[in-house]
Amino acid sequence: MTTLITLSDLTAAAARIAPVAVRTPLLPMDALSEQLGVEIWIKPEMLQRGGAFKFRGAYNFLAQLTPAERARGVIAPSSGNHAQAVALAARLFGCKAVVVMPTTVTSAKRGGAERLGARIELAGTTTQDRYERAEELVKAEGFTMVPPYDHAWIIAGQGTAGLEIVDDLADVGTVLVPVGGGGLSAGLSTAIKLRAPNAKVIGVEPANAPKLSQARAAGHPVRIPPASGLADGLLAVEVGGLTFAHHQAYVDDVVQVDDAALPRAMRMLLNRMKLVTEPSGAITLAALMEGIVAPSGRTVAVLSGGNIEWDGLVPLFSDDPT
């Protein structure tokens, strides 16, 4: 039987990361609240160190390694945000980091990992490609693998964002969270349900990569065909087995959002909140703006990251006169 993380795992992770992580605020989104007739709040994880929520899990993981494991160096397969998080955590612990990224990685995400001192390896375009290359390097060079999502330490670290939500909004009614491989959605849903059991947690994934929807329909993780799209951080071909067990226990529903909706949500965040969000990070807000999710009670949209730069923003908006 799969063992789920506990509230004590979450609070221990929160204490572990507290000296180094940013405690991101909840910000009221008045423009959308007025439109929908319910309080909408955002959790801006682009303000986290490394530009995304991933630093929470990466630091929690490295903090629990032995000195000998850290001395061998760490390696992380990643589409981008996990790579930067591991590179930053490794720098803080004074150990070497290698990150295995897709050949299609954005310049913002690759550049971020390089600036943090990581050695870059490129491998294919899928999660499996990156894992296989990382495993080769573990065998060849002795690195310690830092998985991007399917590990209890990673899940607990990401779940600290959920503890913060309930601390700031005890009567939260609905929480929307992006779904990639499932680490954030697993940890955050666990934290929400253990602290505010009446709240509803909704996972949001790209329409062209519905791995959690298909897993829930099948009752187990399902490998879907590789996809491309704007939400590059959410294009995992399969949710993890451990993350899926948490989803089954704590996620109430999962919905899909088309790529076309993402720039509209990014634009609203830039215009109204002065926040730069990557497409993956804006997907929860897009679900609200498009009417895909009807919020109930005080509602929080988790914005998972903002690792996009000017060169990535211009193509999204250059053809849109609004």
Cα–Cα distance measured from residue 166 to residue 300, given in angstroms and rounded to the nearest whole number: 10
Q: Max CA-CA distance within the chain? A: 57
Whether residue 322 lies inside any domain: the answer is no
Catalytic residue among 54, 96, 200, 211: 54
Whether residue 94 lies inside any domain: the answer is yes
Question: What percentage of the chain carries pLDDT values higher than 90?
Answer: 84
Residue 26 contacts residue 41 (beta carbons within 8 Å) = yes
**pLDDT score for 109:** 84
Number of domains the chain is built from = 2
Give the pair of three-digit tokens for residue 109.
């995400």
Q: What is the CATH number of the domain that holds 139?
A: 3.40.50.1100
Read off the pLDDT band of 308 (50, 70, 90).
confident
Question: What percentage of the chain carries pLDDT values higher than 70?
Answer: 98
Per the annotation, the verdict on 318 as an active-site residue is no
Cα–Cα distance measured from residue 238 to residue 257, given in angstroms and rounded to the nearest whole number: 17
Cα–Cα distance measured from residue 272 to residue 285, given in angstroms and rounded to the nearest whole number: 13
Whether residue 161 lies inside any domain: the answer is yes
Residues 6+ apart with CB under 8 A from 12: 156
**Domain identity same for 74 and 203:** no
Catalytic residue among 33, 193, 304, 318: 304
Per the annotation, the verdict on 280 as an active-site residue is no
Instruction: For strands 299-303 and 174-178, give the pairing.
Output: parallel
Domain boundary among 103, 120, 145: 145
Question: Which of 83-87, 166-170, 255-259 has the lowest average pLDDT?
Answer: 83-87
**Domain identity same for 125 and 248:** no
Q: Can you tell me whether residue 222 is helix, strand or coil? A: coil
More confident residue, 209 or 312: 209
Whether residue 1 lies inside any domain: the answer is no
88-108 confidence digits (pLDDT tens): 999 999 999 999 998 988 888
**Domain identity same for 31 and 102:** no
User: Full-prediction pTM beyond 0.85?
Assistant: yes
**pLDDT score for 159:** 98
The residue range of the domain holding 118 is 54-145
**Domain identity same for 130 and 197:** no
**Domain identity same for 171 and 301:** yes
Domain boundary among 96, 111, 145: 145
Domain boundary among 114, 145, 176: 145
